[in-house]
Structure 1
Amino acid sequence: MSDDAQAQADAGTAEGQGPVQISEDLARHLENKREELFEKFEIRDEFPPEVIEEAEARTGDVQSEITAEIDEREDLRHLTTWTIDPVDAQDFDDALSIEKREDGYVLWVHIADVTHYVHPESAMWAEAVERGNTVYLPGYTIHMLPPVLAESVCSLVPNEERFAHTVEMHLDEETLSYESIDIYKSVIESDERLTYSQAEQRLDDPDAPLHEGISLVYDLADRMHEQRKEDGSLVLNPSRDRAHTIIEECMLKANKAVTHELMWNRGVEAMYRVHPQPTPDEWSKALQEIQELDGVSIPGDTWDDPRKAVNATLETAPGRQLDKIQWAVMKVMPRAKYMNDPFGGHHALNFEIYGHFTSPIRRLSDLINHWIVYRNDVPENLVALCDRASDKQKAAEQCEREYKQFLQEVGLDPMAVNNRGIDVVEDEEAERTL
């Protein structure tokens, strides 16, 4: 989940609105367009039979496997644990637990243990390398891993025991810095699956289940968010709600913890996320473009740090100008890429070292980092894998952009399609509920 514009909004059926209705003829046009884009960007939609067979064979009796392995893992079933995902999410690959102690916070981020099922000798691993990532189009998803696996044994569903890869972080009460980082295989049992809107409601209701835990983790996430901004991390969406803030900040903290562990404590290569910075001239051009927008003023004391300048400007700018400010920044931002060396750091986040760990179901980089953490074994072709993941991400983004443009050309709202889904009706002249 979260980072690099990958974070999904809380999509799902909008209240009081059903799916977008389209005719059979238009549905065929959309299908043809998808096939054209898949061929153009070399995106595989269907899984080979051997991959499906392998996935189905690994989704048998999960309880028997857990019973057999529980002594070799940390048993965290006693922790209060929950997931927060979009309302239409089909798999839940991360969960949270938190405690407040005298000396600070203990934050557990539990990630589905995908590498228990998908390893370098498996057909599913080879297929994941081929695909590189899950591709999200409005109303249509092309998965990196077979859904039969991702939506069953790799989904942290409530009230069922699951294998996880846990990042346990002890954080200083004042500075929120890492007092200790421990990464290990675990068994967890989620207490509840929440949507973003449900998490928001729990925050407002002192009598609701999980209210105390969610409130505590939000207080921590809000502090981490403000700290990131003060440190110079670029925040292009200043109005993100509380539930999204929880997930974004906790996943960033876990990702950063894992890659710090790999780099500083183990000294191993991994799939790091490197984001080069724009040149001073490019940043100057972007800030000048922002300063010239009607009703927008960049605070004078922030010009020396463009990221802080953008953050401060977004917080006070008229709503009608937010998209233009964001676009001015995005135009000068180099593309982030995966590399086997963190040199250069992540400019937008202002992290010296950063990588992905929290979404192994949908990103090749996370899957590979899980394997490196687990086995301390770096794939021989790591540089090629980094290039592959970078190229496939770029292809996925371009495919999504062109498909959204096509939807607009045929009179459909991409956001409505994404949030509400599509219903194909027989009447060719069916009214579209956009």
Structure 2
Amino acid sequence: MTDDQAYAGTAEGQGPVQIDEELARHLDNKRTELFEEFEIRDTFPDDVLIEAKNATQDPEADIEEELESGDRVDCRDLTTCTIDPVDAQDFDDAISIERLDDGRYHLWVHIADVTHYVHPGSEMWEEAVKRGNTVYLPAYTIHMLPPVLAETVCSLVPNEDRLAHTVEMKIDPETLSYEEIDIYKSVIHSDERLTYKQAEKRLDDETAELHDELTLVHELADKLHEQRKEDGSLVLNPARDRAHTIIEECMLKANKAVTHELQWVRGLEAMFRVHPQPTPQEWDKALREIQELDGVSIPGDAWDDPRKAVNATLEQAPGRQLNKIQWAVMKVMPRAKYMSDPFGGHHALNFEIYGHFTSPIRRLSDLVNHWIIYQNEGPEDHDLAELCDHASARQKAGETCERLYKQFLQEVGLDPHAVNARGLEVVEDEEDAELTEEEADTESAELDL
């Protein structure tokens, strides 16, 4: 089996985690309990499913019609790929890159064009608003959109033409600033779906397909990453691999480009992402807690900016203390939230303004921002400030539900990471059931993509 085929199926070549029927009932009951507590909608109403089915009867004809209309840019000749976790079910984003003759980076970030099918006034839109986001539990996903859209028609699967919203950027190789930004509707054709591990292997193999493109985009992403750290962006996972760095930095760059267009070029209200900063006293408390850890010392020249102090400390600290350093920071960090007014910025990222655009399959904020960038106004019949508050609340509910479900899995002897990567299989004979207790990898809080 080639690495291109290996992503299908379970992680690391292992089979699903096996459980008996009684434990399966316990898990089902726990999910039902959590869904009721956090008002998570586990099933779609019939009218939503019927509308989704009717809207997606002939996607190929839709794409052909869009191309013939002249309203789409044909990007199918670009070499394009997706990079996602091995267990990903929906592919929101894909990337293409070239180096221009003058040395500039020419980066395209292609995002699934959900608004072609889901628009204000439709049953699917109203259901997406109610849900607010996709909720990912280990081996159990509650989509924001009907599965036919989330997993098939909108998902940027390989070897199929797809409708997309493309953010095209020409980037100076020295300053890394935008020389040009163009945002438009497109049709793309993803050449490959790579997992993070597959992308790492391609980067190491000079003879592999996409090696040159991945090497070039990592060159750009690494520069962007180092620039963010120098500017004071908080980086809680200093050991992130090259493939994760590529996706993180490309999505941040695209989101920033769209936010720039919305705020400074068009002057539009949108669903911006705002992250308040801790008070000086809270930051001081966190830094003192970090400084007192065994084997940990904050570099003297980094104390002036707490974010830079944390970054520098994480890079030098012994591995056994990374979790404690991250937790000391997370305890004092306010929650990021959606607001129609962007000012206040994003403290963790150290961005003056920021917003989400790159995940419309799984986040309401991105879906709404796609509509605004396309229509030059917010959706009718919805107050944007209320949508921001609602999306923030639904995100918190989903994250809390996920955390409590993972705790429950641990309580019954299951490793949430193994369940998430390998899935579950119910076996009839209790003696055949496997309860894994593998030690999970450290999972740090990610920056707000």
The answer to whether TM tops 0.5 is yes
Report the alpha carbon displacement of residue 404 of structure 1 after superposing the two structures with TM: 1.0
Query: Are 1:391 and 2:388 an aligned pair?
Result: no
In the alignment, the residues of structure 1 paired with residue 384 and residue 8 of structure 2 have an alpha-carbon distance, to the nearest angstrom, of 35
Identity %: 77
Rounded Cα–Cα distance in structure 1 between residues aligned with 2:248 and 2:196: 12
Q: Which residues of 2 match residues 32-431 of structure 1 at below 5 A?
A: 32-70=29-67, 71-101=70-100, 102-379=102-379, 380-431=382-433
- Equivalence for 2:442: none
Pairing 1:23–2:12 present: no
Question: Secondary structure of the equivalent of 2:11?
Answer: coil
Contact 2:115 2:370 in 1 (8 A): yes
Q: Go from structure 1 to structure 2 and tell me whether the alpha carbon gap of 1:342 and 1:217 turns closer, same or farther (over 3 Å shift).
A: same
The structural deviation recorded for 1:414 is 1.1
Checking the alignment, whether the CA contact within 8 Å between 2:113 and 2:154 is kept in structure 1 is yes
The secondary structure found in structure 1 opposite 2:320 is helix
Q: Deviations over 1:148-189 (max 9, x none)?
A: 112222011222211100000111110111111110001111
CA RMSD of aligned residues (A): 1.3
Q: Is the contact between residue 58 and residue 149 of structure 1 (CA under 8 Å) also seen in structure 2?
A: no
1:92 is paired with a residue whose SS is coil
Kept in 2: contact 1:108–1:169 (CA 8 A): yes
Deviating more after overlay: 253-262 vs 78-87: 78-87
Contact (CA 8 Å) 2:87, 2:420: kept in 1 or not? no
- Following the alignment from structure 2 to structure 1, what is the Cα–Cα distance between the partners of residues 165 and 86? 24
- The amino acid that maps onto 1:25 is E
Which portions of structure 1, spanning 4 or more consecutive aligned residues, are displaced by more than 6 angstroms?
none
SS of 1:72's equivalent? coil
**Which 10-residue stretch deviates more, 97-106 or 301-310?**
97-106
Q: Does the residue aligned with 1:353 lie in a helix, a strand or coil?
A: coil
Distance 1:137 1:159 in 2: 29
Q: Which amino acid aligns with 1:353?
A: I
Separation in structure 2 between the aligned mates of residue 351 and residue 76 of structure 1, nearest angstrom: 30
Distance, in Å, in 2 between the alignment partners of 1:232 and 1:129 is: 34
Amino acid at match of 2:85: P
Shift of 1:61: 1.6
How far apart, in 1, do the equivalents of 2:76 and 2:255 lie?
Answer: 23
- Following the alignment from structure 1 to structure 2, what is the Cα–Cα distance between the partners of residues 152 and 59? 10
Provide the TM-score with structure 2 as the length reference.
0.93
Residue 11 of structure 1 and its aligned partner are, at CA, apart by 11
Alpha-carbon distance in 2 for matches of 1:144, 1:226: 34
2: CA distance, partners of 1:235 / 1:374? 33
| Contact 2:413 2:435 survives alignment (8 Å) | no
Secondary structure of the structure 2 residue equivalent to 1:338 = strand
Q: 1:12 to 1:383 in 2, by over 3 A?
A: farther
Measure the CA separation in 2 of the matches of 1:250 and 1:16: 30
Change (3 A) 1:433 1:32: closer
Summarize deviations over 1:50-108 as a string: whole Å, max 9, x none: 11111111222222122212122111111111111112222222110011111411110
Deviations 1:362-416 (A, max 9, x none): 0000000000000011134111100110000000111111111111111111111
Distance 2:321 2:29 in 1: 36
Q: 1:428 deviation in Å?
A: 2.5
SS at match of 1:312: helix
Q: Is the 8 A contact 2:11 2:86 kept in 1?
A: no
Decide whether the 8 Å contact of 2:138 with 2:420 is kept in 1: yes
CA distance in 2, matches of 1:202, 1:401: 34
Superposed CA deviations along residues 233-286 of structure 1, whole A, max 9, x for unmatched, are 000011111111111100010011101110000001000000000000000000
Q: Give the 3-state SS of the residue equivalent to 1:423 in structure 2.
A: strand
Deviation at 1:430, TM superposition (A): 3.4
Shift in Å, 1:15: 2.0
C-alpha deviation, 1:433, in angstroms: 4.5
Conserved? CA contact 2:139–2:424, under 8 Å: yes
Listed one character per residue, the Cα deviations across residues 332-360 of structure 1 (whole Å, up to 9, x for unaligned) are 00000000011100000000010000000
Output the amino acid matched with 2:423: G
Aligned partner of 1:55: which letter?
A: A
Letter matched to residue 303 of structure 1: W
Distance in 1 of aligned mates of 2:182 and 2:49:
34
- TM score, norm. by length of structure 1: 0.96
Secondary structure of residue in 2 paired with 1:152: helix
Deviation digits for residues 17-63 of structure 1, max 9, x if unmatched?
A: 22111110000000000000000000000000011111111222222
Which amino acid counterpart does residue 142 of structure 2 have in structure 1? I
CA offsets 1:292-347 (integer angstroms, 9 cap, x no match): 00111100000110000000111111111100000000000000000001110000
* Contact preservation (8 Å) 2:234, 2:311: yes
The structure-2 alpha-carbon separation of the partners of 1:12 and 1:311, relative to structure 1 and needing over 3 Å to count, comes to farther
Give the Cα–Cα distance (whole angstroms) in 1 for the partners of residues 434 and 299 of structure 2: 45
The whole-number CA distance in structure 2 between the counterparts of 1:399 and 1:324 is: 23
SS at match of 2:152: coil
Q: Find the aligned partners of 1:425 and 1:38 in 2 and give their Cα distance.
A: 25
SS at match of 1:78: coil
